[in-house]
Structure 1
Amino acid sequence: MQRGIRLLVIFIASIVIGVAFNLFLLPHEVLTGGVTGLAMVFGLMTPVNTGYWIVLLNAPIFVLGWMKLGREFIGNSIFSVLITSISMLYIPIIQVTEDALLSSVFGGVIAGAAIGVIIRFYSSTGGFDIVSLVLIKKWDVPLGGLIFALNSVVVFISAFFFAWDLALYTMLSIYITGIVIDRVHTRHVKLSLMVVTSKGDKLKQELLANLVRGITVIDGRGAYSGEDKKVLYTVITRYELAIIRPILKEIDPQAFVSVSESMEVMGNFRRD
């Protein structure tokens, strides 16, 4: 059931990407980044549809992803790329607005939101998404910013084949896409979690069973009540906060919990 819901979300988001391309970006020859952007260049310069180019150019990158990110992730990614490609074959290329700036902004926002959702549901849109996801396993940087940096090469390519104003629109579009991705995909955001509880042993065991994080346990005592407490401290990702909330509510709903964003984490911290 959960697998089916995941594929349904990926299916819908992939079609939304096709809508962003064919209704906002392609009509003004405003490209997107990375491999998809290159496919759009080839699609505009040749009689071969952009959807076919997306599949052809993504093939070697999928091999890399298969080795580094796993079979299920790449299976979901292939599914996403195929749905996007097919949707672009059937969604007509219509100019929603004559303003290229508006198209760049709205196309970037729509594409970024859809890509962010796809990545959150354990998939990708192929291309530099996969390369970036491989790199952030070693570099603790925002995914959207890394995708933007890698995709910026398309700006220069589009500038040589088209006009510089279109290249600047492309830069704007992929920049907005990167920002929106980071608003949706928040795995890079680290949170400091501190829990003051009277059920420290049980809560510690549940957290260790459901997370891949170490926990520091400190003996504490309430200044007003004089009651002995356990203080549990760890660093988690924003995604893991959704796992922790129901555990805290079930084991000790009276626990004092403090969650704050960590500016930087050094040392032995698992980043995937």
Structure 2
Amino acid sequence: MQSKQTPSTQTVHPQSGWEPPLTGQARRLFLIVLASVVMAVNIKSFVDAGGLFPGGFNGLTLLIQRSAQQFAGVALPFTAINLLLNAIPAIVSFRLIGKRFTLYSCLMIALTSVLTDIIPSMPLTNDVLLVCIFGGIINGFSISLCLLGRATSGGTDFIAVALSERLNVDAWNYIFIGNCLMLVVAGMLFGWDKALYSIIFQFASTQIVHLLDPRFKRTTLFIISNRAPEIYEQIKDTTHHGATLFHGIGLYNGEERDLIYSVITSDQVKEITRAAREIDPHAFINILKTDQVAGNFYRRPHD
């Protein structure tokens, strides 16, 4: 197909922000509770079994706990330390990211802390390498559940989300570097073997979050159809993204064709393609992975 006209400027529509209140909030609450349970169980099984230090303030809390126990003989509760460490990042998040996002995140932090104190230690294996890999995968999965619920597990995750919101960058690998610096201290105090194994744990966790977090995965759609306006309305109403319309000629049979060009997030692709095929069963849809977008691109806010 060749373009006959210069494409119009793509518009970005303001968010409607509407979702059924009960359904949306219940789903969000369920994901956060599930994430806190998974994270707490992971700490009391894989993390404790390997003597590891997970990323973020959970790892820093464990470092303080174990240091107090080993060097001062004092048993400090996980909950008190973790809540204290997260106080300042929570205030920053409240101001920069949003009220509801911060409140749900605080719920995640509190539930994880309390469950970590309540759940008894239950090591599943003594193989440290298995602990690192599978513990890291489960930890990344729990963080991803939390992000799907538009919340965070606290600490450095507050920082990562704030950077994502303000600078539009994927900050998880930078957080990984920061966690490695914390492990240097842990290695000096408790032995380099635990610190090095913890790096494997944190790397596995970071990659799972990077894989599952949908906010930075974008897809380009090229849709050829004779019912372009109806398909565009579906894109606009469902994703709040705009589109550009090309008018052209199909060179196979010489008939006029319309081409819709739009960039959306990857988790919206199935819904849009299904809706487009329902509107026009003969629509031709080309789906391309998009590595980077420069310009005005709508992103659903965390709050």
Provide the TM-score with structure 1 as the length reference.
0.91
1:74 deviates by 1.3
Question: Counterpart in 1 of 2:255?
Answer: 227
Moved more, 156-165 or 206-215: 206-215
Indicate if the aligned counterparts of 1:143 and 1:188 stay in contact, CA closer than 8 A.
Answer: no
Whichever residue aligns with residue 97 of structure 1, its letter is: T
Indicate if the aligned counterparts of 1:34 and 1:153 stay in contact, CA closer than 8 A.
Answer: no
What is the CA deviation profile of residues 219-264 of structure 1, one whole-angstrom value per residue up to 9, with x for unaligned ones?
0233334432211112222133255244324433432111111232
Q: Which has the larger radius of gyration?
A: 2
1:138 deviates by 4.2
The SS at the match of 1:261 is strand
Question: Counterpart in 2 of 1:135?
Answer: 163
1:239–1:146: structure 2 CA closer, same or farther, 3 Å change rule?
farther
Indicate if the aligned counterparts of 1:112 and 1:178 stay in contact, CA closer than 8 A.
Answer: yes
1:146 deviates by 3.5
In structure 2, distance between residues paired with 1:177 and 1:23: 16
In structure 2, distance between residues paired with 1:67 and 1:247: 38
In structure 1, distance between residues paired with 2:108 and 2:280: 41
Question: Counterpart in 1 of 2:205?
Answer: 177
Question: Counterpart in 2 of 1:43?
Answer: 65
Provide the TM-score with structure 2 as the length reference.
0.83
Whichever residue aligns with residue 101 of structure 1, its letter is: L
The SS at the match of 1:98 is coil
The SS at the match of 1:111 is helix
Question: Counterpart in 1 of 2:280?
Answer: 252
Indicate if the aligned counterparts of 2:27 and 2:149 stay in contact, CA closer than 8 A.
Answer: no
Percent identical among aligned pairs is: 26
In structure 1, distance between residues paired with 2:110 and 2:287: 40
Q: Which has the higher contact order (CA 8 A, sep 6+)?
A: 2
Uncovered stretches (5+) of structure 2, i.e. residues with no partner = 1-21, 69-74
Indicate if the aligned counterparts of 1:138 and 1:271 stay in contact, CA closer than 8 A.
Answer: no
Indicate if the aligned counterparts of 1:44 and 1:50 stay in contact, CA closer than 8 A.
Answer: no
In structure 2, distance between residues paired with 1:212 and 1:185: 19
The SS at the match of 2:286 is strand
Question: Counterpart in 1 of 2:34?
Answer: 12
What is the CA deviation profile of residues 110-158 of structure 1, one whole-angstrom value per residue up to 9, with x for unaligned ones?
1111111110121110111111011122445445424323322221121
Indicate if the aligned counterparts of 1:144 and 1:177 stay in contact, CA closer than 8 A.
Answer: no
Indicate if the aligned counterparts of 1:143 and 1:181 stay in contact, CA closer than 8 A.
Answer: no
Question: Counterpart in 1 of 2:296?
Answer: 268
The SS at the match of 2:287 is strand
Residues matched between the structures, number: 272
1:241–1:50: structure 2 CA closer, same or farther, 3 Å change rule?
same
Question: Counterpart in 1 of 2:153?
Answer: 125
Task: Give the 5 Å matches for 1:189-200.
Answer: 189-200=217-228
Whichever residue aligns with residue 104 of structure 2, its letter is: N
The SS at the match of 2:282 is coil
In structure 2, distance between residues paired with 1:81 and 1:105: 24
In structure 2, distance between residues paired with 1:143 and 1:180: 14
